[in-house]
Structure 1
Amino acid sequence: MKIRPYIYGVDHISVASFGTDERTHALWSANIFRYPLTQEGFEGKLRELEANTGDMPFIAENGKGEAVGFFSIELYNEGRDAMLKFVIVSPSHRGEGTGLQLVKAAAEYAFNNTTAGAVTLNVFSVNEKARRCYAAAGFEEVSVEPSAFAYNGEMWGRCSMRLEADKWSR
């Protein structure tokens, strides 16, 4: 798997195809991005996040050069931590280990290309597959905030997870 910076005006088509339905979209983005994704709305919000928090968006590609995932990284805590955000895998590549490869590639990027000594993330408690994927990559649960997000009559908890650089195994 190869990761590369998101290309504005090009990559939105791939990312828009990853969210197959409104619930999947909410699980992925906490509705930070409007559903359905439009180029203008998605890239406008990405640029806003880059300007406000320094988010760095990336595309993950398979060996054939196909976009198979998306994520963003934000440095915070004076650069000591990186937050992995908006992780999503193409529906045609789910269940193949692509998510685990993507998360490992994102952590490797953070540890090798930033000052971060840890990578953190938040995942909704109801997203069991994602939680298992993050745990398999070495992330440990730090806390759970119950009822953090309302979706269509449901209340989802938010699980915070962390991977320390000294526990990272490539």
Structure 2
Amino acid sequence: MLRLRPFRTPDAKEIIKWTRSPEEFYKWSAGIMGDYPVSENKLLEVVSAREDSTSYFPFTAFDDSGIVGFFIVRIPGEDDKKVRFGFVIVDPSKRGMGYGKQMLNIGLKYAYEIYGADEVGLGVFDNNKQAYHCYKSVGFIENGITEKYEICGETWTDIEMVRPAL
């Protein structure tokens, strides 16, 4: 059974192992954590810099086998009823097994039922088809907003998606 808990410092050591190439790293980080490869210290710096924040919540997904996923919930603007998921990543050895969908569903339950959000948004690059389909499977829809990023010598298109409360 998959569960969520707040991110802990030792989690960083495992999470950084999940990106084996620059493309994998930038697909979940969009370069916000700096350049590939990400270090344990850099991940900790990005997450712990917001430790006392009332608008940034890092979560680790785990089951009996250990940690299997990571993502953050944040309030990106003035409207605290609109939250955003970010840094969504699942252990590559667990992909395609439903872990991402389970993790997102638990995250959505937190966002709507515990936090009290009206809407959850996220961005996904158009070259990350597996993540795109995972987000669609839990009810995210495109909102018509896209943004271009220059990554790895290419232009990547970020597709913005939202999941309104049911």
TM-score by length of 1: 0.89
- Letter paired with 1:61: F
Aligned partners of 2:54 and 2:3: how far apart in 1? 24
The amino acid of 1:129's aligned partner reads Q
In structure 2, distance between residues paired with 1:108 and 1:21: 32
Match of 2:33 in 1: 33
Q: Which residue of structure 1 aligns with residue 115 of structure 2?
A: 114
- For residues 129 and 93 of structure 1, what CA distance do their matches in structure 2 show? 13
What is the CA deviation profile of residues 75-128 of structure 1, one whole-angstrom value per residue up to 9, with x for unaligned ones?
244211110001000011011111111111111111122121111101111111
- Amino acid of the residue matched to residue 99 of structure 1? G
Give the distance between the partners of 1:28 and 1:11, measured in 2 at CA.
16
1:139 aligns with 2:128: no
SS in 1 for 2:49: helix
CA distance in 1, matches of 2:24, 2:15: 13
Match of 1:11 in 2: 11
Structure 1 residues 74 and 108, CA gap change in structure 2 (3 angstroms): same
Deviates more, 1:73-82 or 1:154-163: 73-82
* SS of 1:116 mapped into structure 2: coil
Structure-2 change in CA distance of 1:136 and 1:32 (3 Å): same
Q: How far is 1:50 from its partner?
A: 4.9
**8 Å contact from structure 1 (residues 20, 91) kept in 2:** no
**SS of residue paired to 1:26:** helix
Whole-Å Cα distance in 1 between the matches of residues 78 and 144 of structure 2?
A: 18
Bigger CA drift: 79-88 or 29-38? 29-38
1:156–1:41 CA distance, 2 compared to 1 (3 A): same
Measure the CA separation in 2 of the matches of 1:120 and 1:144.
11
Residue deviations 1:54-87 (CA, integer Å, cap 9, x gap)? 221110012x151000000002442111100010
Q: CA RMSD in A?
A: 1.7
What percent of counterpart residues are identical?
A: 29
Q: Residue 22 of structure 2 contacts residue 152 of structure 2 at CA under 8 Å; is this kept in 1?
A: no
1:152 aligns with 152
Is the alpha carbon distance of 1:50 and 1:155 closer, same or farther for their aligned partners in structure 2, counting shifts above 3 Å?
farther
1:125 aligns with 2:126: yes
> Gapped runs of 5+ residues in structure 2?
none
Instruction: Confirm whether residue 100 of structure 1 aligns to residue 87 of structure 2.
Output: no
**Partner amino acid for 1:98?**
Y
